[in-house]
Amino acid sequence: MLQVARLAPKLLGESVDLVRDFLRTQQNEDSGFKDRTGKSDLYYTVFGVDSLLALQSDFSRTALQGFLQGFGNGEQLDFVHLCCLARCRAAIADRLFDVADKTKVASELLRQIERFRSLDGGYNPVADSAFGTAYGSFLALGAYQDWKSELPEPLRLVQSFKLLETDDGAWTNENILHNASRGTHAKIGSTNATAAALTVLRNLGMPINPAVGDWLLAQVHPQGGFRAAPQAPMPDLLSTATALHALDGLQRDVSEIKEACLDFVDSLWTNQGSFHGNWSDDTLDCEYTFYGLLALGHLSL
């Protein structure tokens, strides 16, 4: 994702400086990035750091390390923030850690992540769960890739995704929507869960039914952008960015929807240097800044 987001300046042009300036306003004195209430948060820090990296803007790795040290090895963090800690530490590792330190840090972080392995082989934000989630598995695999480590028992993870398949040929996020006793599936898929599943399966070298690309393209709103699910009333930036990323991984042609998607992303842009999450969203943050960059990166191809 970060590699594609680096292409966003092709479309942003001189507005790149506005984005850089916005990101600087989002970093607190402790070097963490603001959540929607203004407090430093690991989750938003990931998007702040990745956005700066995408724009090839430098930042103080040493100062960021000071912020990250407050979280120790992540043993007190929930799963999502633990994966965020892993990604942030990976972003500064090459400049601040020697080989031995990197090995030690990676080993401990990944050990913590394995606490959230579900019984079916996936990953779930709730420890000791029977079933994994698409989002949890996506985050876990990303953490292993950030640290250039092999995911243990990848086939078990792949098998867990069978329980997330939906009747319409996509994926849902949680197995709770399935009737396991009857072997039936949820009827309707989710754009973001489907994008996460596709990305995980593709990175693990698994074959993917090309028809799922048709399902994703069917989620395009008439006014551009992608909906989070078939019944969603409006498109949103997260779904648009992840769907475009998944379609690119499938090598699907999106030329027919490109202009409409560009118009949609442009409708969310503000001269403050960021993007709203959807047409009803009034708050700006680092998360949607990154998703705006990711969407523009794909639309620049």
In this prediction, what percent of the chain has a pLDDT beyond 90? 95
Residue 177: the pLDDT is: 52
Could you tell me the pLDDT band of residue 214, with boundaries at 50, 70 and 90? very high
Residue 121: the pLDDT is: 97
Could you tell me the pLDDT band of residue 179, with boundaries at 50, 70 and 90? very low
Decide if pLDDT at 292 tops 50: yes
Decide if pLDDT at 9 tops 90: yes
Could you tell me the pLDDT band of residue 175, with boundaries at 50, 70 and 90? confident
Q: How far, in Å, are 23, 48, 120 from residue 133 at the CA level?
A: 31, 25, 10
Decide if pLDDT at 30 tops 80: yes
Decide if pLDDT at 134 tops 70: yes
Residue 88: the pLDDT is: 97
Residue 182: the pLDDT is: 46
In this prediction, what percent of the chain has a pLDDT beyond 70? 97
The radius of gyration of the chain from alpha carbons, rounded to an integer in Å, stands at 19
Could you tell me the pLDDT band of residue 183, with boundaries at 50, 70 and 90? low
Residue 184: the pLDDT is: 55
